[in-house]
Structure 1
């Protein structure tokens, strides 16, 4: 099955000139969703994770069911101020400004194998920050995974761990 057939391109969203890759069309198709999750599970499982870290917010849609399927834990990497309790954060630069990503301070233990999961890799800033944050809390990060990669933005070049995606767009 070609998963691209189940991902809708929405022109000029969220602003003019942007082509948004909408995964809601894939999520609502049970067969395509099953195929995508099966393929992701095979890729992620090869890295033997203890925990999957989903990147806010669409990364949660992939990481949580993958963690359940693989029998491992799930933690959230969220924007500033969204997690209760003690958090550890990392400020990072984006092409249009800066942001902060946080994790609960007790979410992972030193040495745990944590694979970072998101729906889409574009310029790589947020995923690179998530990887760096996990390494700062002493997690081992064997890989990062996304459903979609926008290859023409070269986001994987910003990552210091192996990266894999199910679908790649080169223009």
Structure 2
């Protein structure tokens, strides 16, 4: 495995102008995912940020959160909990509806995925306005678990999503 400290993951994030609509400068993580040393560096640095903290599981919202959440859980030697859109999980679920700028959405997880009192690290690829992560925090707390922190590969600081996460510990690897 390569030395993850020698790689700058930010160098592997591409700007895509006017996506998904005019005026948006999209931060595309696809090149980073296609470059194993950069991908490994992201996982190693996220793990380093939370090493030594008692964490029972990493939970992440679909879909891009899964890309980073599962390998981070392995690196931390803890379980992984998928948080999904409605109808995607095969067993009994708990759910939470939340508001977006343009309407509402719902997230679900298996009802037995997180036990009360467990310590959960939430992860997503990007922190933008904070709506999805806020819903994840609320869903995990609804299960009786403690949110250790919220981790992100990229934070779009100018959208102030961190403010929606109140006093939750927020860690972002790269901030724009």
TM over 0.5: same fold?
Answer: yes
Q: What's the counterpart of residue 165 of structure 1?
A: 172
Distance 2:97 2:53 in 1: 27
- Are the equivalent residues in 2 in contact too, given 1:44–1:145 (CA < 8 A)? no
Q: CA RMSD in A?
A: 1.0
Question: 1:15-45: per-residue Cα shift (whole Å, max 9, x none)?
Answer: 2222211111011112111211110111132
TM value normalised by structure 2: 0.92
> Which one is further off, 37-46 or 50-59?
37-46
Q: CA deviation at 1:157?
A: 0.3
Aligned length: 169
Partner-residue secondary structure (3-state), 2:91: coil
Regions of 4+ moved over 4 Å: none
Q: What CA deviation, in whole Å up to 9, does each residue of 1:48-83 have, x standing for no partner?
A: 210000111100000100111111000111111111
User: TM-score w.r.t. structure 1 length?
Assistant: 0.95
SS in 2 for 1:67: helix
For 1:52, the equivalent position in structure 2 comes to: 58
Equivalent-residue separation in structure 1 for 2:72 and 2:21 (angstroms): 31
Q: Is 2:38 aligned against 1:10?
A: no
- For 1:150, the equivalent position in structure 2 comes to 156
Q: Does 1:88 align with 2:102?
A: no
